[in-house]
Each structure stands twice: as structure tokens, then as C-alpha cells.
Chains A and B, each alone.
Chain A
Amino acid sequence: MSLIKGGHLVEDTFVDASGGETIPASGPVIVNLAQWQAQRDALLARGTPLGLRLHSDQSPEAIADDIQHFALIALEFPKFRDGRAYSYARLLRERYGFKGELRAVGDVLMEQVFFMVRTGFDAFDLQQSPDPVADFQTALRDFSVWYQPTGDGRPTAMQLRHRTR
């Protein structure tokens, strides 16, 4: 178990069928974009929480009008160097108003957690971490000063400067 949410290890209640597996008859499930597009009606009819996993070359623009159907969107980092999902996360949170779980999956390293939190992720599959909880907490403690405004609402250095005056 390696899923971190709210700073704690949590059990993943979703079954991940996004690799193309048969979708179970009931229960929370994660599907891929093709599955969602092909089986949209059936998936909605199940009436259980639905998750969507997007590859790093799949912009969330494709599902911008559908986000209310998803309880979870998982954005994939095929390599930690592939930073497209940071932009996707901000679009989902700040432009499309996605309020569900935004999960970082794939090559997720503790050194990236800080950026992920700031761009809107709130769940992290820290598979490569020997101690995910400790690593997560350490990564968050690294900085208390931020220069860029993002949707997470943390005040930036610029805002604090002019507030304290």
C-alpha cells in the first residue's frame, strides 16, 4: 500500500481497470479515456464512484465537459521528467473546477510532491518510497516561501510583502 491522501496512507477503494482489464460489475473503478468514451452510458449507469486515468499525452480538455461524472482523476507521470500533468492538474482545478480526488500515478517521487501539491494534486501513489508518509511530510516541509500563485491559494512572497506593509 503506497497511496497517500491527506498526509496518511490510505487504502485504495478503486479497482484500476485502466490497463484494459474487464470492468467489474460493481464498485468504484478507474477506467482509461478509450473505455470512458466507448462505454460512457454503461459506466454512468453503474451508479458507483468513477475514476479516469489520463496518459501524459491526453489533455483533460477532452473531458472538460464531463468532469462532474468523475470522483477521481488520475494523471500519469510515465517518467518523472515528463511534466505535462502539472499543467493538466492546474487546468482541471483552476479552469474546469474539478473538485474530486486528483491522483498522481506512475513515476511519482518524493522530490516532485511539492510541485504536485501546489498544482492541485491531493493523492499520491508513492510506490517507490520505502516510507511514503515520512517522505511526503519531509517534502512538504522543504519550503515555506512560494513565488507563484496557483489554485492552492497559498499566499506568495509578493502577496505577503505587500500585506505586511
Chain B
Amino acid sequence: MYRYDEFDQQFVAQRAAQFRRQVSRRLAGELTEDQFRPLRLMNGLYLQLHAYMLRVNTPYGTLSSRQMRQLAHVARKYDRGFGHFTTRQNIQYNWIKLAEAPDAIADLGEVGVTSIQSSGNCVRNITSDQYAGCARDELADPRVYCELLRQYSFLHPEFSYLPRKFKIAITGSPNDRAAVAVHDIGMRMHNNERGEMGFEVLVGGGLGRTPYIGQTIRKWLAPEHLLSYVEAILRVYNMHGRRDNIHKARIKIIVNQMGIDKFRELVDQEWEQTKDGVLKVPDDEVARIKAYFAPPPYEKLADGKAELTMLRKADPIFDRWVRGNVVDHKVPGYAIVNVSLKAPGRVPGDITAETMDAVADLADRYSFGEIRVNHRQNLVLVDVKQSELHELWQKLVALELATPNLGLLTDIICCPGLDYCALANARAIPIAQDIAHAFSDIDEIQRIGHFTINISGCMNACGHHHVGHIGILGVDKRGEEFFQLTLGGSSDQHASLGDRLGPGLPQAEVPGAIRKIVDTYFTMRANDERFIDTYRRVGIEPFKVSVYGAETARAH
């Protein structure tokens, strides 16, 4: 994985020192809160309901065991002993004191972890496929290009005060696990007709109160033009994006107001001027970064499936876990292990410092010291020998990290909601816990199959509710919390936005409504059809009727 060299290290140390000065100026009253806010935000520091929240990047979802231990250290020393992994491959600490934030940031910087631009109206953490470098279906490792963009975007002098935040994601696989279609810029690596690898570039995707699926602005972009093309998009956005209304300031709004063709024309005009200039990515820089992502020293192993099959036959609970959470690896004899942070009753994405340390130890022992973070708030050990799966599983069970629900109904995405967040309208966490409680039979949820539930506590959509098979949005109606359901959303390569099911429901009725939706799915599904496919085939009507009754469904 990428390791900071002397330049990166110096940059991060200087950034930490600068923030320390800004905090002291704020504490001394030399900066007003209005002036300080964008400075702290660009260092990932939010003021929440109860305390400051620090959001820390895990760049493109990759962490070393050393970095994970430092995340644990920060949780212990500056927080209340835990952290929360988010949908953007970040970790958030919820109980940070302003005066200590510079120390926390400096400690993280020592191991090459930053909170730089994890917030603010600038380019955010570049996200990617959690299986990058290991997935069987991958064309090439997207992290090389994520890292190029990470460097390019850090404290960009021209683009640190964009109209609004800007999110970029890259997938190197045709099976999109990085939700690139709901990013300001999404990129899909693929070969052109000459067999050369490049990027399909999508622009203007995003969730929030006005959700859009990104549109293709360029079918194929040569890797050497990655930075100049992104700069052209950012420049057009910086100059033309709306600044009169914060809710209309994202790039998706101007892309859709002027139309993708007009927007493309502006970008191309701009890009023509710069594409062959100083931003052209030199081969030796790509080679330098690629070397960091060279595969770990895999052993030459035979595919160990036969032995594994025996173990699975002998132990149905192990078998269930392998079926649920283990994914094929591109190297024979290895496997990708998903570490579920969604045990029943737990807060999705939350993890204690002790568990962080334990996961770091497991990574050292079983997976070349590397940990990944996925956008569904789970962790991944990507390079595990098949022959060690059983042993690793037993240790994960002891840590309550082996719930075999990856991609299943209780693998719920959930924002912090009104329990922490100053923006939220409703509590999201208790809904997730209620649903997990109502669907505690793991055999049942495996029978239900691939099923995503995404919960947001407000329309800002941090919980990606628009792209959950079931989306749940917390709304406030005259001081009471209600939950609005949407069906049919998806964030993969066939991304779609969910359709509103009907009037909002009180908290107590949500698990029951989901039960009715699942029952309806069971009666309508053809063979092994996934829920999303059934939904797309039969439409929303039968689900509406099952939740609201025929009469109410007609009225809505």
C-alpha cells in the first residue's frame, strides 16, 4: 500500500502545525467562529450536538495495521474509546475537544493518516473499491489513480473554496462496489476498442435533497489525462457553480440545469487548453505509485477449496459465514474476508478501540498487515489464506465480528442521526437496531438474499437512503419523528434511485413494514431472483398495498 515519503510526510506535518495555529487563534479570539468554521472543516472538524466531531480519511479505504492501531490510540486518548466508520471510507470520532484536536491530528499524521479535506467545500477523500488489487473481476488497481488524485487535490490553491463539497470515486471493476454513480465525479476503468485501459467519467451524481445518478461526460479518458480532465471539470464548476443557494450549489445542479451536452462542451473547451500541459501524468510517477501497490508476497498455493469444503461440511455455522462473508480472491489459495461491523444490536459502523487493535493484530497474523474499509461500514481482510479461514473465523466469532450478513438485510447502512448529528431530524441508529432485532434469524436473512437497507436521519442522505433497496429517511413532522420508505434504489453498476412508497411511518411500525415488504417479495419472486430484480419486474404497487392496505395505497 502507499506509504508517505518525505514530501508527503512534511506536507502533513506542516498542515498539522498550521491547524494548531488556527486553533490557538480561535481560542484566543483572533478568529471569529464564522472565519474559523471553514478552516476547521477543511481539517475534518465539525461542531455537533454534544461535542466536536473529527472525521478522518482512510484513503480509498486502505489502512495498515499500524494506522489502525493509531486510530485506536486516538479513540482512547481523545475520544470515548470508539469510532464510527462512515459511507465515505472515513472514521468519525464523536467526542473531541477543540483544544485537543491539533494533538489528535498530529498523532494521526505520524502514521500518514489525515483529516485533510474530509469536510469543507473542497475535494473530499477519494474513495474506491474495498477489494482493490485483490478482486477477481478487476481490470486494474484503481488505488494508483486514487492516490494521484489524493495528492492533486490536497490543498489545491484554486479549488479549496468550491461552491460546495466534491466527491470522487473510482472503480477498477465492472461490478461497482464504490457507488461511483452517486459521486460528483465517478470513474469506471475499462478498456477501449484498442484494448487500452482508461476511464469512463461520470459527472453530476449525488444524493442529498436533490438526488441524481451521474451522467457520462466522457466514454474513455486516457490515464495520462486524468488530472487535466479533473481540473477542467473543477474549473468549470468553480466558475459556473451556483453560489447563491447552498442547496443548489453541488455540481449535479448545474450539470442538470445546463444539460450534460452543454456542460461537456464547456469542459472540453477548457480541457483543450490544458490537456497537453504540465498536468499530464508522467509514466514514472504512475510507476512510482504502482510500486507501492505491488501485490504482497503471496505464497504459491493450490486452490484449497477441497479442504475448505470438508471444514464447511463439518461445521454448518462456519459454512454459513464462508457463504456470507468470504469472497473469491484473484490469487489461488487466498480469500477475501469481510469483517462485519453489523452484529445484532450494535450500532452499524461503530467499533471500539480494543476491537480496532484486535483487527490490526488479525491483519498482521492473517492478511499481510492490511485492512480495508468498505462504504457499507464494514472492514475487510483482503489477503487471507483459504487454509487459515477456519482459524480466523473462530477469532472473529470471539470478537463478534463474524455475523454472516454481508450484503444481506441486516448489513444496514446507518448515519449517526439525531443521537449525534446537529443536522439530523430523527434518530437513525434505533431504527437500524429495531430492524436487526426483528430479523435476527440468520438463516432467514440468508434465504432473503441480497438486500440492502440504507437509513438516513435527514435529507442530507449520509446514510445513502436513495440507493438502498429499501431506503429509510427520518423526517420531523411537528416535533415527531417519522420514517419515509423508498424502494428499488441501488448504487452498483445499475444504479437507480428509490421510489417513495407512501406516507412516513412512526418508528414502531418500520420493522413491521419491512416484514411485509419481504413477505411480498417472497410471494412474487421467480426462482432465485434478487429482491431488486423482483422489484424492477413487478413495480412498487404490490409493496404499497402490502404496507398500507389497498385503500391507502390507492390514495397515494
A-to-B contact residues, CB < 8 Å = 56, 59, 80-84, 86-88, 90, 95, 109, 111-112, 114-119, 138, 142-145, 147-150, 157-158, 160-162
Contact = CB atoms under 8 A, between A and B. Distances in A.
Contacts of B435: none
Interface string B142-166: 0000000001101111111110000
A90 B160 CA distance: 14
Interface stretch (B3-11, B302-310, B486-494, B534-542): B3-11
A161 B7 contact: yes
B158 A82 contact: no
A148 B7 contact: no
Contacts of A56: 243
Please classify the interface of chain A as helix (H, G, I), strand (E, B), loop, or mixed, using the class held by over half of its residues.
helix
7 contacts: A81-B121, A86-B157, A112-B161, A158-B282, A158-B285, A160-B7, A161-B5
B14 A144 contact: yes
A83 B161 contact: yes
B355 interface: no
B152 A83 contact: no
Interface residue tally of chain B, by bracket? Answer: 35 or more
B250 to A, nearest CB: 15
A83 B35 CA distance: 15
Contact of A157 (B38, B151, B161): B151
Nearest to B284: A162
B136 interface: no
B285 A161 contact: yes
A103 B157 CA distance: 16
B158 A150 contact: yes
B499 to A, nearest CB: 36
B314 interface: no
B14 A115 contact: no
Q: Which 7 A-B pairs have the closest CB atoms?
A: A83-B161, A118-B157, A157-B7, A145-B11, A115-B157, A149-B278, A86-B158
Interface string B18-50: 100110000000000001001100000000000
A145 B160 CA distance: 16
Given A143-B155, A147-B156, 17 more contacts: A81-B161, A82-B161, A82-B243, A84-B238, A86-B157, A87-B158, A87-B238, A109-B35, A112-B161, A118-B157, A119-B157, A138-B21, A144-B14, A145-B7, A157-B151, A161-B7, A162-B284
Interface in B83-136: 121
A148 to B, nearest CB: 5
A154 to B, nearest CB: 10
Contact of A87 (B17, B35, B239, B278): B239
A145 B10 contact: yes
Nearest to A118: B157
Contact of A148 (B10, B152, B243, B284): B152
B150 to A, nearest CB: 9
B235 interface: yes
A164 B341 CA distance: 44
Interface string B270-291: 0001000011001011001000
A148 B162 contact: no
A144 B160 contact: no
Contacts of B285: 158, 161-162
Nearest to B122: A83
B38 A80 contact: yes
A80 B10 contact: no
A81 B38 contact: yes
Contacts of A95: 273
A87 B235 contact: yes
Nearest to A128: B35
Nearest to B120: A81
Interface in B415-429: none
Contact of A142 (B14, B273, B282): B14
Contact of B152 (A90, A119, A147, A160): A147
Contact of B156 (A145, A148, A157, A161): A148
